[in-house]
A and B are shown apart, each in its own frame.
Chain A
Amino acid sequence: MPFAPLLRFFMLCSLVVLSALALATTQAQAQAPAAMPAQGERLAAGLERFKADSFADTEAAIAAIAASGSAQGVAILSALADRRLFAGAAGVFYRDAAGQAFDALTGQPATIPADAAMVRLNNRLRNVVQAALGTMTLLSPDPAQRVRAAEAVFRSRDASALVTIEAALPSEQNPRVRRAFEEARAAILLSSADAPEALRIAAARRIAEAGDNDAISLLRQFSGQTTGGLNAVINQGILSIEQAQRIRAWGQTLWFGISLGSVLLLAAIGLAITFGVMGVINMAHGEMVMIGAYVTFVVQELFRNHAPHLLDWSLPLAIPLAFVTAGLVGIAIERGVIRFLYGRPLETLLATFGISLVLQQAIRTWFGPTNREVSAPSYMAGSFEFVGLQITYGRLWIVVFTLCVFAALLLVLKATPLGLQMRAVTQNRRMASAMGIRTRFVDAMTFGLGSGIAGVAGVALSQIDNVSPNLGQSYIIDSFMVVVFGGVGNLWGTLVAAFTLGVANKMLEPFAGAVLGKIIILVLLILFIQKRPRGLFALKGRAIEQ
């Protein structure tokens, strides 16, 4: 029966992870239909004018092809720009970038007749071609391409694209493309000096709303050159964008801090059990994290070799396995060494440090000293934008996962019989024993739980750190700092401490650099411990010495 709580904990963990997985894989792929009528006749008329071989006719041809909206239009014009377009009595032909020849009118593969000559361009026409190409991609059926084209127009502010954009805007369904079009239109209007003042003011407002780097540089360009109401709107827009950017930078720092804090919490949370609740100085804690990471590696290798199509499931499966493996190693350490050393913290520290050396060397012997590759599953790759913040899925998952582990641990401690027994034994061992609690067994289970959590942390840390025999070492000092800072024996203190340290570290980084920032944090921590030797949230007690 005592295993029931642990089992329930596993199930809770896997449930959380599985449901999250399901969410990630069912992301809707919305695509707006964008069908443009192909007008073969206008294309034919345009192509006909290439044959005249005069610059004026070529310009007219370009305009006609751009207006035709034909599917080949882009290919023809880009061939023209790259000197791959040929005209002759038999028709107009082009080669694609690979050298394959096509008939321009039909788009079918063809051979270029000997009398066909290359259509010549001068510099002015080359610009016309580029602008026409930009306009045509504005009408492309692919939304991503439309957005790119609109962004190009935003930067070039080519007035000739205004007509196309205004024509396309009312029928545009895709909100992202729509926004890009509106911004491009605003950019053109703002930069055309002969547009009505009211339109230009509205355009400036629209650009200020866009709020990105391109917008601010565009506004800055015009801030001195205009007068009256328009200038005021532009300057106001610049100020508001700058403010928004400052807030966004803070948000980004905060997010990085939370992300780092969750890593710290993950590494420290197992220690909060073994050190915080049991008072055992487990220097081999980092090696439990390492074991968890290696379990992930082994599980993933097994999947890679035997069931590659299920590779994405290797991580969720590694979580319970890492918990059990690290937990069993922890129980073995407790039974084999630590139980002889209760009440002798300094000796425990030395013995567990020895164990950590042995575990590291064992891993080094079995897996080699080099870093092992643990790949990220598809649902952890990539990133998304949230109110202007770049957030990678991997980091987001780790934050969510950390909070889940924390909640699960609280649940185990507060709502299961084993948790009750753990708390009883740590508060008053002899009284608990007198009440019939098997204290030895509870000791082993508590240590196993702490170690198992460390193993679970290893699964997550394998995603962001090198899986090597030294993995654990790099976390052990930070973990102790977090637990001591938060106040020993207090899980919530550990949570607050981890996030505080994470955010403080990231706040310092822009001023001091990564290493110096870390050093400053360490020094501040050492000073803090002088002030409050029992951490942020100290347990009140009357014992003079522990």
Chain B
Amino acid sequence: MLTARFLRMIEGRGLVFLGIMALVALLVPLCNLYVPPGNPFHVSNGTVVLLGKYLCYAMFAVALDLVWGYCGILSLGHGAFFALGGYAMGMYLMRQIGTRGVYAHPVLPDFMVFLNYKELPLTWWGFQHFPYAMLMVVLVPGLLAFVFGWLAFRSRVTGVYLSIMTQALTYALWLSFFRNDMGFGGNNGLTDFKDILGFNVQAQGTRAGLFIVTCMALALTFIIARMIVASTYGKVLVAIRDGESRTRFLGYRVEHHKLLVWVVSAMMAGVAGALYVPQVGIINPSEFHPANSIEAVVWVALGGRGTLVGAALGAVVVNWLKTVFTTGWLAPYWLFALGGLFVLVTLAMPKGLIGVWEDVRARLANRKAIADAKASGARPSDAGSPDPQVPR
């Protein structure tokens, strides 16, 4: 009974997605650890890190799709939440270095010794404890989102204005984190991590473990997001997206609904950032750059806005393209490709890759139905996807 409800909530597409995630989580570490290098099925360490990075981005994209695809809030500053989560994790990892830093200070990270800090700033207290750091990973982005969202949604800042405000938010944070006075490593950010929970972050086993955790976190994020959008609350969100004033006139507290999904999404982004940092080994202020947040929006748009699976797919596809482009002779053309992608997606495929796939499937099904009808002599039924229309 419960399983049946769960399956209905996840939908066919989601099941495929979860299946792939399980397969990837199982096969990639196996092929990395137990298949010898030389073997065609061997997955190199670099590839594991790269795939782990993609999956963090996918998680981030799912969080973004939750607010943009289902609630119509186009955030151009979601990267701020991602980076804040990353910084929280980075601070934990910095505290784990201990006396192994260049200056071998037992408490202060290297950059603080370098900048003549006498004692640990208040903001860094407690970050040596993993549970506290993990709490901060969700709490800091969540709190910022709450304050920002509470102010913005209450005074009904919507649409483009909200987008520009979110962009200003991440821009302000970007400028702040560059300052050495902030006590977060300034321009260089946090790096040179040694271990996480006692395991060496560079070790193959730790990397495989982190990869599996990332897969699980992505799957969990997806399930939570699916649970939200499949619930009554999710229906109200879609109503807000399609007609905010009407929903308000129907008696819903629009700002409360928006605020909840906004904060949840920010927390998800924070977790994605926290998983990202130990895998890539660095977090610096460039993660706050407004362009990063806009780029994330195009992942969602390419995959298919308001589909969740599409967001994850888009993140992986765009970042895979980015890797392909930026590592070879194509490097100077990457921005052309990315820019072209922005234009192409908005003009030619407003429903993204998932939308294109649905269209193709619907057409095939229709053709088959016509063929069947011809064979049986009956009229064809109207086959096609009953997906809700994404508003323009």
Contacts and interface: CB of A to CB of B under 8 A. Distances in A.
A477 B335 contact: no
B347 A337 contact: yes
10 contacts: A343-B392, A346-B74, A350-B301, A351-B342, A351-B343, A353-B342, A354-B343, A361-B336, A364-B335, A529-B165
B240 interface: no
B168 to A, nearest CB: 5
A360 interface: yes
Interface stretch (A91-99, A162-170, A442-450, A517-525): A517-525
A480 B163 CA distance: 11
B165 A526 contact: yes
B294 interface: yes
Given A341-B347, A477-B168, A530-B151, 9 more contacts: A349-B74, A349-B160, A355-B339, A361-B332, A477-B290, A516-B176, A518-B175, A519-B176, A522-B175
Nearest to A354: B342
B346 A350 contact: yes
A481 B165 CA distance: 9
Interface string B310-341: 00000000000000000000001111101111
Interface in B271-293: 290-291
Given A526-B168, A529-B165, A353 B294 contact: yes
Contacts of B345: 350
A341 B169 contact: no
| Chain A, interface SS category | helix
Nearest to A340: B347
B168 A481 contact: yes
Contacts of B115: none
A320 B346 CA distance: 33
Q: Which range holds the interface residue count of chain A?
A: 35 or more
Contacts of B171: 477, 522
Interface in A364-381: 364-365
Nearest to B301: A350
Given A525-B168, A526-B169, A361 B175 contact: no
B350 A347 contact: yes
B368 interface: no
Nearest to A283: B294
Contacts of A359: 339
Most chain B CB within a 10 A radius of its CB, from A346, A360, A519, A545 = A346
Interface in A242-299: 281, 283
Contacts of B152: 530
B172 A357 contact: no
Nearest to A535: B161
Contacts of B339: 353-359, 361
Given A349-B163, A350-B342, A354-B341, A530 B157 contact: yes
Q: Which range holds the interface residue count of chain B?
A: 35 or more
A283 B346 CA distance: 14
Interface in A326-355: 337, 340-341, 343-351, 353-355
Contacts of B301: 350
Nearest to B344: A354
Nearest to A341: B346
B336 A347 contact: no
Most chain B CB within a 10 A radius of its CB, from A351, A353, A358 = A353
A143 B312 CA distance: 76
A473 B171 CA distance: 12
B164 interface: yes
Most chain B CB within a 10 A radius of its CB, from A283, A343, A344, A351 = A351
Interface string B241-272: 00011000000000000000000000000000
B9 to A, nearest CB: 28
B273 to A, nearest CB: 21
Interface in B137-158: 148, 151-152, 154-158
B178 interface: yes
Interface in A505-536: 515-516, 518-519, 522-523, 525-527, 529-531, 533
A511 B218 CA distance: 45
A346 B300 CA distance: 13
Interface pairs A-B: 3 shortest CB-CB: A354-B342, A357-B339, A358-B339
Interface string B174-186: 0110110000000
B175 A351 contact: no
A467 interface: no
A523 B350 CA distance: 34
B167 A527 contact: no
B233 to A, nearest CB: 23
B272 to A, nearest CB: 21
A357 B156 contact: no
B151 A515 contact: no
